A and B are shown apart, each in its own frame.
Chain A
């Protein structure tokens, strides 16, 4: 038995021996905490009470239909204060992108424009953190984390910084529990993806408008689309398929006219750079045509059994175990195929499975999950997301800044390290003492500052330690007996920090 297995086994023993209150539908405290740990970013007192009241099965059904869960007014108000979140891709480009005549402008003018555009990234991050912390649509937000990484783009890559929030809000979030095919098409046609994987410059060599920067073929998107987004690296495609798919997507790109005018769709298909010839892709014939060829290719990819298996594997790895149980992956892949790629149907099967139910404590939180779960458990409104975004960066997971198209990993092997453990325990001390919760960066953008009244504390800048007893009650049997005993023998002012920094709280 490996050390990791031993730890897991010890965790399970502790979990099983803990006195368990059993609720109306037979769910134990541990099962309630388990579903809240995995379906989103961890328990709050309010969420626990809600699951206890309606039962786990109904809670899962509720989470699968997020549009029917009301968004709290305080969250809506917070999101409404983020001005750049309301702009579409063309407005973002026109207002914050390179300006007409900028080539001859002074460097100071250009730098000022770029600095101003940083508000987009700041506000996108704030929106993400606010939703993850305060939205009752927890599964939707967990799936935003999952699918954003699956279809990753990088905010410091040219124009992508302009579109990072819009990409998430338009191409990802609306589809995370919808049809995979719609999600795939939405990402393919978003200018952020077109730019990130260089498809917007890819042209059929020799086509009428293939010149300058748009002179020829670029296979970056075609390769990653198959390797990462759909079939998987062992999905059975060849270099010829990569090249053919790149030819199929020639002409997919931007409408610079709309972007400069700040109105209309930024994505456009340009027939004058497209290779319209008939193609054979993955053994299937795609007739001569324009933009429809790309849609046909996306449909072929979305319907491939290799894609079903790849997506099922990744979802299981995110929600169940680093080494996904093959039987569960097979069942989910079959469900994916028979439901026509209905993500909610696949998630319902996953969350109702015995493998999911029995996987308590099997996952090691990513830095993103760890930081957010600590804040939810601390049960306090944050004054600014900035110190927490900084903590994620220190732990190796800066939000929207994964450079490579594979996105951030979610396994213990990727995240458990000596340096990260130092960073996490240090973070726990700063949260437990209340210091980070009270912190407001001196140059914070005004839109990110919450009204002092909403924190409920007389002086929000004065650190107030997190209530250790309430924290221990909240986390219940997920804290092992040994950990509880050790914390009980520690100085009271350190107990909240030790709880949040305990090995038990790093897992879920």
Chain B
């Protein structure tokens, strides 16, 4: 019997016996939270965490490279070999207090350079297998102990992404301007009339009820005194920093919220991606600002929150003929939060010399993207091997790698 089969069986037996996963957080503990941000379109990780110690990096990117730390508009020094894109300066305080880590040369074991296949594999958690019917965060939600809440998991946005689809109902909310403002559907006589139309056990009725419950919770959270003070009559702001601030408010109001997912698009920089300034820099400025707002807004809840930023694949090592980069392979995963042992670049750096590249063109993958996520699941959310085998079925063993990325 394969180890994973044994684990799956053991997990099934534990559930059948009504036993929760071992080591689960006790009810009186502060809730442990995971926020996953997915950069759809394949962010150019080599310009996010820049291998400035590598001459091949500069040779491959004559016009778009980020210059060495200490030069004008250069990278922000992380360690002797890597530096951060200067547009991500708002995240440097987190690096300095060792709450931000990176895993470089991470990615999918599947070689696809299709955005859509590669995103599916990151979301379903089974690289190479597209028929998996649910997302790994939904399987994770199913494994978390404790009473179910309508806002235990939240997808930010008007659609439910694959990563959170599955057997456990999940709320999704757009967090645009004034998310708590009254809607016609909130009125009790209207809501109760619709309730009768959606009282079945079919997926549409379930979606309706989940939406209603989440909406009720949201309106309550957003109309609290604290929230009114925070808004202070200011016009509703747009953009990631504003959305992140609202998300932080929602998370701090709602003790039940454990899992959050947000997808962010616009990273497919085939032309004119720019260097310290330009298209990619503008996107990173907005994202970095948003993540910094999230960290600040969470206050003490930051101590129990881990944020993972991931993208479907990396981009070519060499810039193309138009100041951009094409679809590649390895990328960088960002991990931040109070429990993170940061200030460190994790993973095995494969190098950028021609012979070291994947298929002669891309950063090689030396870390399966599931391994750091598995460490978060086990060490932060405190689920056991049996639960993990359900969340990431058929995942090769990490052999304890990345166990040190989180403080115990």
Contacts and interface: CB of A to CB of B under 8 A. Distances in A.
A binds B: yes
Contacts of B359: 239
B277 interface: no
A416 interface: yes
A216 B322 contact: yes
B158 A423 contact: yes
B27 interface: no
A331 B357 CA distance: 44
Contact-residue bracket for chain B: 35 or more
A interface, by DSSP: helix, strand, loop or mixed?
A: helix
B159 interface: yes
B39 interface: no
A218 B190 contact: no
A422 B212 contact: yes
Interface string B144-157: 00000000000101
A418 B320 contact: no
Contact-residue bracket for chain A: 35 or more
Contacts of B172: 417-420
A339 interface: no
Interface in B178-217: 183-185, 189-190, 193-194, 196-198, 200-208, 210-212, 214-215
A491 B190 CA distance: 9
A445 B13 CA distance: 65
Q: Which of B210, B212, B266, B322 has the most CB of A within 10 A?
A: B322
Contacts of B190: 429, 494, 497
Interface string B320-352: 111110110000000000000000000000000
Interface stretch (A51-59, A79-87, A144-152, A196-204): A196-204
B160 A417 contact: yes
Interface string A403-441: 110100000111111111111011001100100000000
A218 B200 contact: no
A239 B158 contact: no
Contacts of B94: none
Given A417-B159, A425-B185, A426-B184, A3 B203 contact: yes
B265 interface: yes
A6 B204 CA distance: 12
Contacts of B40: 404
B291 interface: no
Nearest to B176: A394
Interface stretch (B110-118, B244-252, B303-311, B391-399): B110-118
B256 interface: no
A491 B271 contact: no
A462 interface: no
A213 interface: yes
A239 B113 contact: yes
Given A4-B203, A220-B270, A422 B321 contact: no
B159 A198 contact: no
A359 B359 CA distance: 46
Given A417-B172, A422-B211, A494 B193 contact: yes
A215 B212 CA distance: 54
A104 interface: no
Contact of A419 (B115, B174, B184, B321): B174
A421 B185 CA distance: 11
Interface in A364-390: none
Nearest to A220: B270
Contact of B197 (A418, A419, A420, A498): A498
B275 to A, nearest CB: 14
B321 A205 contact: yes
Contact of A233 (B116, B165, B189): B116
Given A404-B40, A416-B207, A417-B159, A198 B322 contact: yes
Contacts of A425: 185, 194, 208
Given A198-B270, A418-B207, A503 B169 contact: no
B198 A406 contact: no
A217 interface: yes
B17 to A, nearest CB: 27
Contacts of B155: 417, 419
B194 A501 contact: yes
A498 B321 contact: no
Nearest to B267: A403
Contact of A214 (B157, B210, B322, B324): B322
Q: Which of A214, A394, A491, A503 has the most CB of B within 10 A?
A: A503
B200 A215 contact: no
B173 interface: yes
Contacts of A497: 190
B272 interface: yes
B41 interface: yes
Interface in A175-229: 197-198, 201-203, 205, 210, 213-220, 223, 227
A233 B202 contact: no
A133 B194 CA distance: 27
A489 B197 CA distance: 11
A31 interface: no
A456 to B, nearest CB: 25
Interface string B33-69: 0000000110000000000000000000000000000
Interface of A: 3-4, 6-7, 10, 197-198, 201-203, 205, 210, 213-220, 223, 227, 233, 239, 394-396, 403-404, 406, 412-423, 425-426, 429-430, 433, 483, 486-487, 489-491, 494, 497-498, 501-503, 506
Given A201-B321, A421-B208, 16 more contacts: A4-B203, A7-B202, A218-B320, A218-B322, A404-B268, A417-B159, A417-B172, A418-B169, A418-B208, A419-B157, A419-B172, A420-B207, A422-B185, A429-B184, A490-B193, A491-B193
13 contacts: A3-B201, A4-B203, A7-B203, A217-B320, A220-B268, A227-B114, A227-B116, A396-B159, A417-B160, A421-B208, A426-B183, A503-B197, A506-B204
Q: Which 10 A-B pairs have the closest CB atoms?
A: A216-B321, A396-B158, A418-B211, A417-B160, A7-B202, A418-B210, A419-B172, A422-B211, A220-B270, A426-B185
